[in-house]
Amino acid sequence: MITLFIFTIGIVIGSFLNVCIYRIPNEQSTIFPPSHCPCCNERLKPLDLIPIFSYIFLRGVCRYCGSGFSPRYALVEFLTGIVYVVIFKKYGLGVEFIAFTYLMTLLIIVFFIDYDHMIIPDVVVLTGLVGGVILIIYQYIHPISFYENPLSLIIGAFTGSGFLIFVSIVGMVAYKSDEVMGMGDVKIFFPIGIFLGWKMTLIALSIAVLTASISSIILIGLKYKNRKSMIPFGPFIVIGTFITILWGQELFDLWYQFTFGNY
Ligand SMILES: [Zn+2]
């Protein structure tokens, strides 16, 4: 029952995330005007805006002009619901749940905006930092077992971002180009690093780099992309972070055992 409740909260928030994903890159307000059909501009009534269900009942078309809505709206809602439920199953209802759903909510926005536009908006990074600072303060007052100590969060802010700055400086020198790595990728690792702590940030970064490399090789192999084309890194950062939230400690232990043998 509580699982269903959390899923419902997830899809309702997912519905707002659609608005953010659609409007933030166009520098529109996410609150005003209220939702309208992008084709006929008709203002959508509450019945048109029930997450997932409206999409199914209206068969994905606007009730007023008949133009199709992208199935991605329903996908984003469903995905947000699933992410919330999975985090709940792993951590129960507590500070970790609040912290990780907060982070993942922002990262779902990052995933789709970076995929569409190859940018990570500053407003998302800043919202993440606000939550991160609250988490650091909370960790000082009320230590959460997920982190070794409060310093881990502060160091974390500079772990992933520091590494990416290093990579982009090396890349700039090696390729004599001024943009190897988007600054958005560097910036989003400030809040991610705080929420994960430095050790888990390294795991998330490793997964992101690994999955991005494998995908690039596959995409270039299938000739969908060539060596020169840019592939957004943000979606891989999001995937890496989510996997780390779920299995970071297990992956760390596995890596440790592999590297240093039994301990
Ligand atoms: Zn319409």
Q: How confident is the model at residue 36 (pLDDT cuts 50, 70, 90)?
A: confident
Q: What's residue 122's pLDDT? A: 95
Domain match, 89 and 167 both: no
215 shares its domain with 151: yes
Q: Same domain for 154 and 24?
A: no
What is the reported pLDDT for 47?
A: 86
Residues 122 and 56 in one domain: no
**pLDDT at position 180, please?**
62
The rounded Å distance from CA 115 to ligand 1 centre is: 25
| Token pair of 45 as six digits | 């009534």
Residues 134 and 233 in one domain: yes
Give 69 Cα–ligand 1 centroid separation in angstroms.
Answer: 9
Report if residue 104 sits inside a domain: no
Q: Do residues 132 and 68 share a domain?
A: no
Tens of pLDDT, residues 77-95: 999 999 999 999 999 999 9
Same domain, 135 and 168: yes
Q: Which of 50, 65, 93 is the last residue of a domain?
A: 93
Peptide bond into 143 cis (omega under 30): no
Token pair in block for residue 235: 């979606």
Cα of 73 vs centre of ligand 1, distance in Å, is 15
Q: How far apart are CA 185 and CA 207, in angstroms?
A: 14
The structure tokens listed for 184 are 């958005």
Cβ neighbours around 134 below 10 Å, total? 14
Q: Name every residue whose Cβ is closer than 8 Å to that of residue 201 and which is 6 or more positions away in sequence.
A: 156, 159, 160, 189, 192, 193
C-alpha 43 to ligand 1 mean position (Å): 9
* Number of domains the chain contains: 2
CA–centroid distance, residue 11 to ligand 1 (Å)? 22
Find the mean pLDDT for residues 87-107: 97
- Kindly tell me if the per-residue pLDDT of 24 is higher than 70: yes
Q: Are residues 120 and 223 in the same domain?
A: yes
Looking at 114-123, 187-196, 213-222, 237-246, which range is the least confident one?
213-222
Is residue 102 situated within a structural domain? Answer: no
Q: Quick one: which of 72, 97, 81 has its CA closest to 9?
A: 81
51 pLDDT tier (thresholds 50, 70, 90): confident
**pLDDT of 225:** 73
Same domain, 117 and 152: yes
| Cβ–Cβ < 8 Å for 196, 156 | yes
Which helix (H) or strand (E) segment is 31 a member of? none
C-alpha of residue 72 to centroid of ligand 1, in Å: 17
In a domain, residue 98? The reply is: no
**Tokens representing 74?**
């329903």
pLDDT of residue 262: 64
The DSSP bridge partners found for residue 61 are 68
**Same structural domain, 244 and 143:** yes
What is the whole-number distance in angstroms between the Cα of residue 62 and the centre of ligand 1? Answer: 5
**Ligand 1 centroid vs 37 CA: distance in angstroms?**
5
User: Considering the domain boundaries, does residue 101 fall inside one?
Assistant: no
The verdict on residue 100 lying in a domain is no
Is residue 82 located within the same domain as residue 127? no
What spacing in Å lies between the alpha carbon of 41 and ligand 1's midpoint? 6
86-95, 148-157, 219-228: which is most confident: 86-95
Q: Is a pLDDT exceeding 90 seen at residue 137? A: yes
* pLDDT of amino acid 263: 54
Nearest to 2 by CA among 89, 131, 118, 102: 89
What pLDDT does residue 68 have? Answer: 86
CA of 55 to the centre of ligand 1 (A): 13
Range(s) of the domain holding residue 129: 111-263
pTM for the whole thing? 0.92
